[in-house]
A = this chain, B = another copy of it.
Amino acid sequence: MKQAKNSDTRNWQTENQSAVRKLINLKSLAEHLGLSQTTVSRALNGFPEVNDKTRQLVQAAAQQFNYQPNVRAKRLATGRSMAIGHLVSVSKGHEIVNPIFADFIAGASARYIESGYDLLLSLVPDENELSAYTDLAARDAVDGVIIHTPKEDDKRLERLNELNLPFVVHGRSTKSNEVYNWVDVNNERAFFRATEFLIDLGHRSIALVNGMADLDFAIQRTKGYERALSKHYIDPVNDYILYGEMTEPYGYCSTIALLDGLIPPTAIIASSIPVAIGVRRGIEERGLKMGRDISILSHDDDLCYFRDENDVPVFTSTRSSVREAGYKSANLLIKTIEDPTGQREGILLEADLIIGTSTKPAKS
């Protein structure tokens, strides 16, 4: 590996046909202008102690030569990475990359761009999860991280606090004792409202096709669901609560199982739109009609991929934009990075209850 010397680089540039490729660094820009690097650097970075005329000249020259400071040098000099890590754990076997994630990223990314942060994505095999954070911190590769899909008492939070690496959790870890930033939907409330809504329609046998049992949000949703039942003196039925990875086939299989059970429910709450789509398939396969014979209510992360833009949406749902959560998480993280001594903060988003055609009063 040769080190790219100043002159070499320039030669290579000249030899090369590419006219667009950057060929100037701070040093040559300063030389060209007959100024010191200090002044040029300050002019471009908006420092006040630069003469206005000088600044104009510098800016013009920078534009002319398409000068962009080399990020690597900048990062070394400032001691900041200007990058934020998203570590997604991928379990062996069923390696789901959640589509929710794509939308979340889109929201976060918008915020990062505003402040010039890069978004570093690492898919980490489950078993190395904790050490991945340690490595990231040791290599000093990011200024902060976002934690996805936390467990009820997630060990990652403690580790990150030890490492003193700023972070925000998308979701919460309600059993954790750590102090941390989070952005979460009020899942308990959302599912309480959803369940109560169905109860008000006369439903008494309501099933919940939930996410993985060890994830915090799934636990919250069950809580909300059970609170609504309990408020209306409905005995919870064990077989009515299902946990699993939120895929379309999972929704389908769960529904078949429910419908073939002893007392088929008259309403099903699904934990995501893909699951709800599977539920509908199951219902229809058993010759029933959604809405008429059995109601479906789903949580809707408002993913653009499934966005329902009808006047009256198909699924009645508790809707909360993941993209917005992404933006807010990024915002909170940047705040913490720029002032690490500040208070940690929690942001609770409320889901809207949106009425579609998939829910109807229970037949009496």
Contacts and interface: CB of A to CB of B under 8 A. Distances in A.
Contact of A274 (B19, B79, B96, B305): B305
Nearest to A304: B96
Nearest to A78: B1
A98 B305 contact: yes
Nearest to A16: B164
Interface stretch (A62-70, A178-186, A230-238): A62-70
A107 to B, nearest CB: 9
Nearest to A101: B102
A132 to B, nearest CB: 10
A274 B95 CA distance: 19
A339 B272 CA distance: 45
Contacts of A1: 78
Given A70-B139, A98-B305, A119 B120 contact: yes
B106 A102 contact: no
Interface residues of A, number: 71
A38 interface: no
B95 A304 contact: yes
Interface in A75-109: 75-79, 81, 83, 90, 94-99, 101-103, 105-106, 109
Contact of A162 (B19, B121, B123, B309): B19
Given A16-B164, A120-B118, A162-B20, A103 B97 contact: yes
A196 to B, nearest CB: 28
A72 B140 contact: yes
A137 B68 CA distance: 9
Interface stretch (A145-153, A167-175, A203-211, A276-284): A276-284
B305 A96 contact: yes
A28 to B, nearest CB: 14
Nearest to A1: B78
Contacts of A159: 20
A248 interface: yes
Contacts of A105: 97, 121, 123
B249 A163 contact: no
Contacts of A274: 305-306
Interface string A1-13: 1011000000000
